[in-house]
């Protein structure tokens, strides 16, 4: 059974012991060591800003948030098992991102990736993010606050 729950450091440890090839490449390209990743996740999880997607109790990915300016910076690590979920994994990720956005109205979600995958912009678009800019070898994506994202036209008029 797949479910979402509050993240723990044990979840992050579990994934970083055998990360997906995508997670490993992202960490290497960003220059972040496993120890630094653990520290970033630790700070977010202690404040209750982390969620884990599990299947039968086994962590598939951890998403942590860190307040940054007017938005929330996202940090994400995943196992190969998550990527094997395919389209259902995208749907689960989209639902999780939407639920997080609802908990923090008026705050943008910001994601930074070093991925060279040609479909990375499409992946982020499926989660509701828009390409913002390039910073060195990385790309920054932003999911605008819900009010701006949906706009008045999707809410209907009264």
The domains of the chain are located at 2-149
Measured distance CA(60)–CA(47) in Å, rounded: 21
pLDDT digit string (tens) for 84-121?
Answer: 888 888 888 888 888 888 888 888 999 999 887 888 88
Domain 2-149, CATH: 3.40.630.30
Q: Is 99 exposed, middle or buried (0-12, 13-18, 19+ CB in 10 A)?
A: exposed
Rounded CA-CA distance 50/43 in Å is 10
CA dist., res. 69 & res. 35, Å (int): 25
Model pTM?
0.80
At residue 142 the predicted structure's pLDDT band, cuts being 50, 70 and 90, is very high
Q: Give the per-residue pLDDT at 155.
A: 42
> Alpha-carbon distance 10 to 54, whole Å?
13
Tokens of 72: 């929330």
**pLDDT computed for residue 60 by the predictor:** 93
Q: Determine the distance from the C-alpha atom of residue 145 to the mean position of all C-alpha atoms in its chain, rounded to a whole number.
A: 15
């Amino acid at each position: 059974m797949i479910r979402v729950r509050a993240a723990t450091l044990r979840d992050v440890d579990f994934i970083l012991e055998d990360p997906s090839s995508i997670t490993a490449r992202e960490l290497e390209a960003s220059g972040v060591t496993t120890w630094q990743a653990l520290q970033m996740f630790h700070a977010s999880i202690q404040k209750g800003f982390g969620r884990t997607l599990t299947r039968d109790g086994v962590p598939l990915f951890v998403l942590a948030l860190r307040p940054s300016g007017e938005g929330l910076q996202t940090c994400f690590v995943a196992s190969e098992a998550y990527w094997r979920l395919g389209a259902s994994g995208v749907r689960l990720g989209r639902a999780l991102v939407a639920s997080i956005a609802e908990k923090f109205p008026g705050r943008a979600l910001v994601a930074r990736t070093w991925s060279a995958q040609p479909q990375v912009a499409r992946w982020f678009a499926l989660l509701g993010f828009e390409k913002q800019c390039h910073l060195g070898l990385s790309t920054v994506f932003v999911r605008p606050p819900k009010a701006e994202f949906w706009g008045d036209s999707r809410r209907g008029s009264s």
